Amino acid sequence: MKIKYRLTPMLAFGITITAWGQQGAPAKPADNGPTLAETMIFIQEKLTEQGQVGWAEIRSNQPGFTFRNIFVLTDVMADPAACTFYGTSTLDSTMDLPKGRVVKPGGAFTADDLHTHTVTTSSTPLKQIEKITVEKLQDVRNEAFAEAAHPDITVTVTPPVFFVKMSASNAVLSAHTSTTQGNRTPVEKDVTIKTGGIPVRDEETANKVAKAMNHAMELCGGGPKKEIF
C-alpha cells in the first residue's frame, strides 16, 4: 500500500519568468510594517539559507523499515507585482530495510524501490491563500493517513521537523513533479491542490516564515473569505 502526501507544492520557489507583474493586480500598500517586496525577500532568504532539511520516518504498519528524507529548496524567486512565489525543490527519499533483510531477485522489493528522487517546480499565488499555520511534520503525515482512511497507521518523524502549511478552499497551488525511482524512467505529473507547504528545520524559523507569509498574504488581499452579507 502506498500513500503519498505532497510536501512541496507551493514554496518550491524557482521557475524562470519571462515577464514579471503580468498576473493579477498589484498588491495593496502596507499601512504599517515591512512592504510586500521586503517581506517576500525576507521569506525567500529565510527558506533558502536553511539548506538541507533531513528527517527519518517510521510507520507503524511497516516495522523495521526506515524512510530517510532530504529536502532542499534549490531555486527561489519572489514576484511581489504578481503576489506569487515560484521555485524548485528536490526531495530524496531512501528506504532502509529491516536488519538482516536484503534485496533479492523476484522479491517484494527491488533496488529501484529503495531510492526516490523528486524534483518539483511550483507556484504559490498569495492572494488566493486563505490560511497559513505551523504544524509538526509528524502531525501532518498522520493527518494524511487519516484522510486516506487509514487512521490506524501512525508515523514517527525524527528529529522533529516543522511544516509551514498553506490552505485554500480551491485547488490554487500548482506544481509539476518529476519522480525517479532508482534507474527507472522518470514519471512526470502536473497537479493542483488545496493544501501544501514546506518542511522547516526548526520551530523558530518556521514561526518567523509563517508570520511573514501571513503579512504578505494580507497585503496581497488573501486570507479567510469574508461574507458580504
Cα 142 to Cα 198: distance, rounded to the nearest angstrom:
16
Domain range for 58: 36-219
Spatial contact of 110 and 104, defined as CB atoms under 8 Å apart? no
Max CA separation in the chain (angstroms): 66
Q: What is the DSSP letter of 29?
A: P
Kindly state the cell numbers that stand for 33. Answer: 510594517
Contacts for 187 with CB less than 8 Å, ≥ 6 apart: 178, 179, 180
Q: Are 86 and 122 in contact (CB under 8 A)?
A: yes
* The pLDDT value given to residue 31: 56
Structural domains of the chain, count: 1
Give yes or no for a contact between 121 and 90, defined as CB atoms under 8 angstroms apart.
no
Would you call 208 helix, strand, or coil by DSSP? helix
Contact 229, 147 (CB under 8 A): no
Is 89 among the domain residues? yes
Q: In angstroms, rounded to a whole number, what is the distance separating the alpha carbons of residues 221 and 200?
A: 25
Query: In whole angstroms, what is the distance from residue 38 CA to residue 28 CA?
Result: 14
Does some domain include residue 85?
A: yes
DSSP E strands, the chain: 53-59, 66-79, 84-96, 115-125, 131-136, 155-158, 162-167, 173-181, 187-193, 195-200
Q: pTM (2 decimals)?
A: 0.82
How far apart are the C-alpha atoms of 114 and 184, rounded to whole Å? 12
Instruction: Specify if 197 maps to a domain.
Output: yes
Residue 179 resides in a domain: yes
Q: Which of 121, 220, 123 is nearest to 171 (CA)?
A: 123
> Which pLDDT does position 102 carry in this prediction?
82
Q: Residue 74: what residue type? A: T
Is 114 domain-assigned? Answer: yes
pLDDT in tens, the chain (229 residues): 343 333 333 333 322 222 222 333 334 444 578 999 999 999 999 999 999 999 999 999 999 999 999 999 988 889 999 999 998 999 999 999 988 888 777 777 788 889 999 999 999 999 999 999 999 999 999 999 999 999 999 999 999 999 999 999 999 999 999 999 999 999 999 999 999 999 999 999 999 999 999 999 999 999 987 766 5
